[in-house]
Structure 1
């Protein structure tokens, strides 16, 4: 690894006093703030007054989800990335190149990381301030690799294979916006009306390979319960991770270029249908979908919504094509 470069401030050097940019980590006298969920997205899907549930289960309006950001990162680097993402959304994330996937990775990783960063400044309970903040700086350090990867928004970066993400794209049959994540498993899904993306971070593209049948579902228009079922599978695959691969970087100061490499293999424990069912049950219940029982049936079978009008499972149907 090269000597510690000065191209950004690593998390271990942060003082988290609210005066440093969440992205580059540098001190900025300018009072600028980055909307975690960008304004264009909030206006497009009428999110301004709606609320996101934080990890301590307290609600916060989307419009209040901001983090400190220096003028350069805010007005130049992040704005350019946002425009690239908007164009991908306009074309429904079709025919994605590696650079397109990198933009999706940057955009979603910024939302996941910045939301956690925001929790550094929010009390667990306003009525009991002695309980402290929702997130501690030590806990945020667990996102140091993701924070490093986010520097690719600012600095030309090469991610050597395997890429540290898996991306899935789906077509949906309704116009509703929906966002959910699993903080511990490092995965995010967002439904922009009739198109949705699901991404898992720091797993060396293995989940995309393992869940390849779901990649083919982008050819089929799915309903909301089917979307939740698919994400339950993907999220649970991420939850099964027993470790996160190690990443190391090299920064070329003369060329202003960052290279990210990986070492070590991803290990996962065995799939458990009952455990998967609890994830799926929770998602269904949290969205107000009551099927009258658990998706895990007493005879050991699993209830599934992923069937066509003839009762054929969609992944089997599409695998025949």
Structure 2
């Protein structure tokens, strides 16, 4: 009998009474887990820090939770969490040794947890105004596929000879006290900079962003980065994922009791490039935001509109070693 994944968007049911991963009815309101795991919150004292939601309302990190059946949590989520926790606490080399799929699952659960809470806020707001909750079809398309892919955690669901994501991992000379987290829901982009590493994920581009940045990756991949260099590369990824103009489509291939997800070609029937045209002024605005810690302004960043400021490469396009950067970490 083919496995049947849970599809919450089909019934638009985002109740705390149902397990987010399986859809089964929960026994109590206590069956919930922290979206930001307790070990991570404890490392950086995040529990009571403010977390801004899309509607500009404020929650705390510890307020953001996901409903999950106790058995599902114990059997599938806790072992994943324990493995990622051990790697993250050890640092870059241990994270690099982790199975990429587990990083995708862990970060995807966190990203989906934030989205789940955002949806709940949206439902409450629109109901209070006597309106039905609506979301754009493109967002539903992306998030529903992300949820399907998260069920590789608990079901025999497999990717058929492709990766649905671009994953970037770097060793970074971080300030050990700093917790650097960022996400962008519309493009399903995630980044985390802690300990001695930085991690970026584009959850649903089928590797397109990794291919798009192959030249710069070839220059920087084997180097330890200064935090401003990691943030610069993050800015490039967040901007290019915004320029990515495809909605990936997938075929579901049941085989016995397993389900295989097959990616349709991104080019499809369109001759249009996968990415819209790169605009340095817009990219400069992204960098200004990513470089807030160092106070660089847009006018400085795009003083030369043809060659925006860079700490990753010099004027000749060669990698800049972090030792040449005289800025605080």
Give TM-score, length-normalised by structure 1: 0.84
How many angstroms does 1:302 deviate by? Answer: 0.6
Structure 2 counterpart of 1:246 = 249
Structure 2 counterpart of 1:237 = 240
Relative distance call for 1:122 and 1:203 in structure 2 (3 A) is: same
Structure 2 counterpart of 1:177 = 179
Relative distance call for 1:172 and 1:83 in structure 2 (3 A) is: same
1:93-152 CA distances to partner (integer Å, 9 max, x unpaired)?
A: 55846x7100010011111111010112226998x953979x756666331100000001
**The residue matched to 2:291 in structure 1 has which SS?**
helix
Query: Is 1:268 aligned with 2:275?
Result: yes
Structure 2 Cα separation of the partners of residues 160 and 87 of structure 1:
29
Q: For residues 29-40 of structure 1, what are the structure 2 equivalents within 5 Å?
A: 29-31=27-29, 32-40=31-39
Structure 2 Cα separation of the partners of residues 95 and 37 of structure 1:
18
Structure 2 Cα separation of the partners of residues 109 and 22 of structure 1:
13
The answer to whether the Cα contact below 8 Å between 2:248 and 2:264 also exists between their aligned partners in 1 is yes
Count of residue correspondences? 308
Relative distance call for 1:56 and 1:246 in structure 2 (3 A) is: same
**The residue matched to 1:152 in structure 2 has which SS?**
coil
Structure 1 counterpart of 2:325 = none
How many angstroms does 1:14 deviate by? Answer: 4.0
Deviates more, 1:231-240 or 1:241-250: 241-250
Structure 2 counterpart of 1:18 = 16
Structure 1 Cα separation of the partners of residues 129 and 106 of structure 2:
34
**The residue matched to 1:221 in structure 2 has which SS?**
coil
The answer to whether the Cα contact below 8 Å between 2:96 and 2:169 also exists between their aligned partners in 1 is no
The answer to whether the Cα contact below 8 Å between 1:88 and 1:100 also exists between their aligned partners in 2 is no
Structure 1 counterpart of 2:207 = 205
How many angstroms does 1:73 deviate by? Answer: 2.1
Query: Is 1:289 aligned with 2:295?
Result: yes
Structure with the larger RCO, 1 or 2 (CA within 8 Å, 6+ apart): 2
Structure 2 Cα separation of the partners of residues 149 and 292 of structure 1:
38
Q: Where do 5+ consecutive residues of structure 1 fail to align?
A: none
Structure 1 counterpart of 2:153 = 153
Structure 1 Cα separation of the partners of residues 226 and 131 of structure 2:
41
1:58-100 CA distances to partner (integer Å, 9 max, x unpaired)?
A: 3321011102111122222111111222233225255846x71
1:173-195 CA distances to partner (integer Å, 9 max, x unpaired)?
A: 22111100111121100012221
Query: Is 1:280 aligned with 2:287?
Result: yes
Structure 2 Cα separation of the partners of residues 226 and 316 of structure 1:
9
**The residue matched to 2:100 in structure 1 has which SS?**
helix
Give TM-score, length-normalised by structure 2: 0.82
Q: Where do 5+ consecutive residues of structure 2 fail to align?
A: 268-273, 323-329
